[in-house]
């Protein structure tokens, strides 16, 4: 069997596609893979905030259209970039083992978040991170930054920023883990739902391919991601809204920490939910947040 694998052109996306291919080859030695790189709308418009150019879908629309047309057989995504409503005819067939889901701080001299000087400029592309940074350190200048891992690190080294908040998983997979100054505690900086999870997407009608992909899927990562994405779906929100979530799986039990934040960092609503069924845990956490007044924050952020 030959699989045509589509992914974005960024170095991190290529690394993730290569990891997916390596995982498949380890189980199916005779499997052939062909990489098809795609430049998405999100890659072409790096100067604009994500919320202004369409949110999560800007990284996936072109790739998913190729899947629907049969130009490629498999798409590799960071699952946090995929909207919770899957396009008709496509499905998440598998996820790889989860990398560290936490956010991290990167500074030039290894300075930690609480030790940054007053007024320091910290860059991040995520409204969720921006909101939590403003809650933790209202004295900082929190600014938007776009670009791949290398571009952001270069801006830091050039002095444009004093610090960056990024996903640990992206830096580790890009081979830049040595740049990390501090891993941020999820109790203070909740990550994005499904952060650190690589998703393998395929056509619902491709039964043989779906069977191959399911055989390499990580059950623990899938259960955690399903709980986090169920929360996101129940809140009806995308990447423009500051929502954090992190599920941990212990045996049959799933524990989900979740939060909704005012963009300016003035309000933080947090809750926890536990249970054995991923979707029910996510929906329970969403219901608790809505009862606490999350809808007001969500509407304001939109």
Same domain for 134 and 164, yes or no, is yes
Do 11 and 80 share a domain, yes or no?
Answer: yes
Q: Is residue 259 part of a domain?
A: yes
Residue 131 domain-assigned (yes or no): yes
Q: Are residues 75 and 211 in the same domain?
A: yes
Helices 278-291 and 219-235, axial angle in degrees (round to 10): 30
pTM of the model: 0.91
Asked whether residue 288 falls in the same domain as residue 242, the answer is yes
92 and 204 co-located in one domain: yes
Within this chain, do residues 7 and 91 fall inside the same structural domain, yes or no?
yes
Q: Tell me the per-residue pLDDT of 290-300, one tens digit each, with 9 for 90 and over.
A: 999 999 988 87
pLDDT of residue 123: 97
16 and 92, same domain (yes or no): yes
Annotated catalytic residue, options 30, 43, 73, 81: 81
Predicted confidence at residue 51, as pLDDT, reads 52
Tell me the C-alpha distance between 295 and 276, whole Å: 26
Residue 224 lies in a domain: no
Q: Give the pLDDT score at 39.
A: 79
Q: Report the CATH number at residue 129.
A: 3.40.190.10
On the CB side of 221, CA atoms within 13 Å amount to 24
- Going residue by residue through the chain (302 aa), what tens digit of pLDDT does each one get? 899 999 888 889 999 999 999 999 999 999 999 999 887 665 555 555 555 544 555 668 889 999 999 999 999 999 998 999 999 999 999 999 999 999 999 999 999 999 999 999 999 989 999 999 999 999 999 999 988 899 999 999 999 999 999 999 999 999 999 999 999 999 999 999 999 999 999 999 999 999 999 999 999 999 999 999 999 999 986 556 799 999 999 999 999 999 999 999 999 999 999 999 999 999 999 999 999 999 998 887 77
Is 158 inside a domain boundary? yes
Flag whether 225 is in a domain: no
- For residue 289, how far is the Cα from the chain centroid? 21
Same domain, 171 and 293: no
Regarding whether 205 and 170 lie in a shared domain, the answer is no
Whole-angstrom distance, CA of residue 75 vs CA of residue 65: 11
Do 6 and 92 share a domain, yes or no?
A: yes
**Known catalytic residue at 81:** yes
In this structure, is residue 62 part of a structural domain? Answer: yes
CA distance 216 to 199: 11
- Whether 192 maps to a domain, the answer reads no
Give the CATH number, domain containing residue 292: 3.30.160.40
Q: Which two tokens stand for residue 204?
A: 């619902």
Q: What is the pLDDT of residues 63-73, one digit of tens each?
A: 999 999 999 99
Q: What is the pLDDT of residue 53?
A: 41
One-letter-per-residue 3-state SS of 84-138: CCCCCCEEEEEECCCCCCCEEEEECCCCCHHHCCCCCEEECCCHHHHHHHHHHCC
d(CA 292, CA 301): 16
Overall number of domains in the chain: 3
Do 155 and 279 reside in the same domain of the chain? no
Report the C-alpha gap between 89 and 108 in whole angstroms: 46
Determine, yes or no, domain membership for 190: no
Does residue 11 sit in the same domain as residue 37? yes
Which domain covers residue 42, as residue numbers?
2-96+197-217
């Amino acid at each position: 069997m030959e699989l045509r694998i589509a992914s974005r052109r960024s170095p991190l996306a290529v690394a993730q596609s290569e990891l997916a291919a390596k995982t498949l080859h380890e189980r199916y030695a005779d499997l052939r893979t062909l990489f098809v790189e795609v430049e998405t709308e999100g890659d072409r418009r790096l100067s604009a905030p994500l919320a202004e150019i369409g949110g999560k879908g800007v990284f996936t629309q072109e790739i998913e259209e190729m899947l629907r047309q049969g130009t490629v057989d498999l798409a590799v995504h960071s699952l946090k970039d995929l909207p919770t409503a899957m396009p008709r005819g496509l499905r998440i067939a598998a996820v790889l083992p989860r990398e560290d889901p936490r956010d991290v701080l990167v500074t030039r001299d290894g300075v930690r978040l609480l030790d940054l000087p007053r007024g320091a400029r910290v860059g991040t592309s995520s409204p969720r991170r921006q909101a939590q940074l403003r809650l933790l350190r209202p004295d900082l200048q929190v600014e938007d930054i776009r670009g791949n891992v290398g571009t952001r690190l270069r801006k830091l080294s050039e002095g444009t920023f004093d610090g960056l908040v990024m996903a640990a998983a992206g830096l580790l997979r890009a081979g830049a883990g040595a740049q990390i100054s501090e891993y941020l505690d999820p109790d203070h900086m909740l990550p994005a739902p499904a952060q650190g999870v690589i998703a393998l997407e395929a056509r619902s009608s491709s039964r043989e391919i779906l069977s191959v992909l399911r055989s390499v899927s990580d059950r623990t990562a899938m259960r955690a991601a399903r709980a986090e994405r169920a929360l996101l779906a129940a809140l009806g929100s995308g990447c423009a809204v500051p929502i954090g979530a992190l599920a941990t799986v212990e045996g049959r039990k799933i524990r989900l920490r979740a939060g909704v934040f005012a963009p300016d960092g003035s309000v933080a609503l947090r809750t926890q939910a536990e249970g054995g069924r991923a979707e029910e845990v996510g929906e329970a956490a969403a219901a608790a947040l809505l009862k606490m007044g999350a809808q007001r924050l969500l509407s304001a952020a939109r």
